[in-house]
Amino acid sequence: MNDAHHLSGQRFFAVINAGSSSLKYSLFAETDDGRLERKTDGGIEGIGSDKPYFIAYDDDKYKMDEHRWTTCEPLETLLAFLIEWIENFLAPNHLSAVGHRMLHGGTLYDEPIIVTPEILENLRTLVPLAPLHQPRILKVIDTLAARYPGLCQIVCFDTSFHKTNPPISRLYGLPQSLTDKGLQRYGFHGLSFEYVSMELKHIDMHAAMGKTIIAHLGSGASMCAMVGGKSVASTMGFSALDGLVMGTRCGQLDPGVILYLLQYENMNAHDLETLLYQESGLLGVSGISNDVRDLMASDDPAAKTALELFVYRVVRETGSLAAACGGLDAFVFTAGIGERSPEIRAAICEQLDWLGLELDERANRLGELKISTDTSPVSIWILPTFEELMIARHGARLSAQYERERQKKA
């Protein structure tokens, strides 16, 4: 175990990201000048399988600890292990706050918030909006609240960044009675877009405050159109299924397909959920893998088709988002595929040359910060996302507020 004595006297913020089969964490320390530095990150993968495993890395990304189980363990057991590991790492220090990435804020919440019993009950009412993600996150919050009653917990919503979307852009062509129940467009990956937009301000203020598209291209993928640093449109809508083709999600789909599957393929709601979330996208089209690297290494024509479809959808959505912006000044690649695949970036930019994207092939191949030519009408960037740091920043701000209020009551 890492010696944590040198960490004493600092404020610490843990970020826990509860996924469908994983519990990922990051631990940040606040420096004397108010910056946040990540000290360790990692998590537990394979939850629900018979071989879950834990791995932890230090701030230089060297493996510092690992643990493997040989049987399927309940979430409570695995979460307790993770919490105890963080406790041991911090000793004799303690956490100032824990931040959680929550997929959906619905129409109730459009800002990060400190969890209270009342808010927690409100969050439970949002489960139908994100049935795969929300229950797992709530379980983690409940477990931490029971173990540390006084611990400040903060939830940050992936929908919050898109609160600036024009009201008309949120509407579906549905009866008002359904819209009133929350059936509208929300947009997701907001924490990623928020972080990247803030970083862009330090690099190119014109791009950050102009008409900009950020492409978060990973296993989950979406794009956001910004004007003046504020979101005006995104490719995801009511759920994280909409928009781009993703690793295992189909993206935009004619609702008539759902009706056909219900009526003629005898699928039920569970079957559809499995198909749309786990069996479609790059995996479904290729029949090989949901990983771009595997598909690029394959000679199978279906792998090529899947990649071409991925690129095609990005290009088409770019045209739609540019229309929402009223033009385009900058295009930013981020997330796993966007940051690490020069081939995918090149294929996208080649099909967007009509919009003013001129790629510097050498800069793209080397993965430099700016990958457009000096004469490109639209600047092109690669900016790594850091959603965990964005959550920790909100945690630091809100926990300071939390402490001030506690002191007033004392």
Catalytic residues: 158
- Token pair 């090149």 in the structure block, residue: 346
Q: Which candidate, 211, 206, 234, 226, places its Cα nearest to that of 327?
A: 211
- Token pair 């295992």 in the structure block, residue: 248
Q: In what order do the strands lie in the sheet with 63-68?
A: 63-68, 53-58, 36-45, 22-30, 12-18, 97-102, 152-157, 113-114
36-45 and 113-114: which strand pairing?
Answer: unpaired
Q: Kindly give, in sequence order, each residue whose CB lies less than 8 Å from that of residue 234, ignoring residues fewer than 6 positions away.
A: 162, 165, 185, 187, 188, 189, 193, 222, 223, 224, 225, 243, 321
- Preceding omega of 92 cis (within 30 degrees of 0): yes
Contact 204, 220 (CB under 8 A): no
Contact 381, 10 (CB under 8 A): no
Question: How far is 276 from 241, CA to CA, in rounded Å?
Answer: 7
Q: Which candidate, 313, 371, 327, places its Cα nearest to that of 345?
A: 371
Contact 57, 64 (CB under 8 A): yes
Q: Kindly give, in sequence order, each residue whose CB lies less than 8 Å from that of residue 278, ignoring residues fewer than 6 positions away.
A: 248
Q: Kindly give, in sequence order, each residue whose CB lies less than 8 Å from that of residue 340, ignoring residues fewer than 6 positions away.
A: 367
